[in-house]
Structure 1
Amino acid sequence: MEPVRVPDSRLASMQADMAKLMDLAAQHERQLDDLSAAPPTPDSPFAAYGLPGFAGLPPAPAPPEPRPILELEDEEYEDELDALSDWVDDFLMRVYGAEVTTAAPWCEQWQEHADVVAWLHALWLAYQQHKEAEAGLSGLFVWHRDFLTHAMATVRAAGGPLSACMTDPDRPAHRLLPGPRPSNRTTSAIEEPDEPGERGDHGESGELGQASG
């Protein structure tokens, strides 16, 4: 049986294809070695599933630390207030709102009461923390006992920040109660200072008066 002769042009093409396949196989082998050698890092998005991370890639950025809402400004504040409003309207008041009365007032424009916003935002942050698995099975009980009860009693107190607002669900009302005036120390600090040399002139005139006397 005579051997099969392959044309030189086709033989060169087959050799080039074989070289490409060998290079591709070598690349795959190196990738498999990297994946098997790299342990899962805490910041790897695959660590929770027991899968290794990708070597050479930067760790996933940590989520931003929560900040009190009154420390936020402009668009950042508006975005946080929108998210808080969704939680308050769709969950908090729907479940724990109870009836609006003179003993438990409410305001449909509560977002304009800075102290109420601060209270409810802190309550929301505590809820997010205590509903996580790390808080344990009693996490939400602790939230009810230590956070929800106290916050709602303060926000909806008869003499609280919403006492001048809605006390009847059929009669919506909204009024911001004026806060106390600044202390004397604050008001005196913003007053215009004495003219330069005024105290010195007074002192010198006093000394001259004593000398002449």
Structure 2
Amino acid sequence: MSDSHDTSAGDIPEPVRITDLDLADLSASVRRLIDQSQEQARVLDNLTAEPPTIPLPGPDFSGFGTGPGPAPGGEPLFIMAMEGQAYEAELDALTDWVDDLLLPVYGREITSSAPWCPWWDQHPEAVARLHGLWLAWQQHIDPEAGPSGPSTWHRDHLDHTMAQLRAPSGPFAACTTNPSRPAHRLLHGPKPTTDPVPTPGHALAA
């Protein structure tokens, strides 16, 4: 007859005895596993979280995508067709764009051959040209303009506008030509005539 315990007969095996040293080792192993699991959970959380926004050097363009623009109901888009409060609101938005983005990025140095006027908003031609440039900016930075949108804006709008505004004979010709000596003066253009058109062979009287 075998001396081994027959568990099928209901015999209870003797309990496994763990020494205090083995229990301490087991507890330490469990704690390490828990710590590793928590660390893995933190890593997974960091990997699945949205990456933080890293500020890029240079001016912030985020606020210059759009401006007040046309109001619903067919209001005019071009600033020279506006008046009153609509004109003032559009000019304020344009000024923010010129002062905070255009001049810091594209202003270049003021010289006798490239004048500028700190009071450009009092020059109607400058307001008109800069507003047109701003409208084109809004169109060409739109995602629908495609990757070449900004390049097209530089080539077709920025370069021509700045060349006209800052030409020696442009609207700022009598304004600041030295950054240490700000100046402003409006140059009057030709006055509209109310005289009749001369017939061929006859000159207007002096």
TM-score (normalised: structure 1): 0.57
Selected match of 1:126 from 136, 159, 168: 136
Unaligned 5+ residue runs, structure 1?
A: 1-60, 190-213
Structure 1 runs (4+) deviating above 4 angstroms are 61-66
Structure having greater relative contact order (Cα 8 Å, sep ≥ 6): 2
Hey, what does 1:166 align to over in structure 2?
A: 176
Identity of aligned residues (%): 56
Letter in 1 for 2:160: H
CA distance in 2, matches of 1:153, 1:67: 24
- Note the 1:1-213 alignment, pairs <5 A: 67-183=77-193, 186-188=194-196
Deviation at 1:178, TM superposition (A): 1.0
What RMSD over aligned residues (CA atoms) do the two structures have, in Å? 1.9
Which structure is larger by alpha-carbon Rg, 1 or 2?
A: 2
Deviations 1:65-104 (Å, cap 9, x if unpaired)?
Answer: 6611011000000000000000001000110000000111
**Contact in 1 for aligned 2:76/2:82 (Cα 8 Å):** no
CA distance in 2, matches of 1:151, 1:89: 16
Deviation at 1:188, TM superposition (A): 4.6
Letter in 2 for 1:140: P
**Contact in 1 for aligned 2:175/2:185 (Cα 8 Å):** yes
CA distance in 2, matches of 1:145, 1:135: 14
Unaligned 5+ residue runs, structure 2?
A: 1-70, 198-206
Q: How many residues align?
A: 127
Deviation at 1:64, TM superposition (A): 6.2
Deviations 1:189-212 (Å, cap 9, x if unpaired)?
Answer: 9xxxxxxxxxxxxxxxxxxxxxxx
**Contact in 1 for aligned 2:174/2:185 (Cα 8 Å):** yes
Distance change in 2, residues 1:93/1:164 (3 Å): same
Distance change in 2, residues 1:177/1:62 (3 Å): closer
Distance change in 2, residues 1:65/1:142 (3 Å): farther
Deviation at 1:187, TM superposition (A): 3.7
Letter in 2 for 1:125: L
CA distance in 2, matches of 1:96, 1:83: 18
Letter in 2 for 1:148: L
CA distance in 2, matches of 1:127, 1:154: 17
Letter in 2 for 1:100: I
Letter in 2 for 1:68: F
